[in-house]
A = this chain, B = another copy of it.
Amino acid sequence: MKTIEQLLESKNIRVTAMRLLIYKFLAEKEIAVTLSDIENAFEKADRTTLYRTIKTFEENVIVHQIDDGTGITKYALCEEGCNCDIKNDLHLHFHCNNCNETICLTEHKIPQIKVPDGFVSENVNLVVKGICDKCSG
- Which residues of A approach B to under 8 Å, CB–CB? 67, 69, 71, 73, 92, 94, 97, 105, 107-108, 111, 113-133, 136-137
Contact = CB atoms under 8 A, between A and B. Distances in A.
Contacts of A114: 108
Contact of A133 (B69, B111, B113, B119): B119
Contacts of A118: 132-133, 136-137
A119 to B, nearest CB: 6
Contacts of A124: 126-129
A130 B88 CA distance: 12
B121 A130 contact: yes
Contacts of A136: 118-120
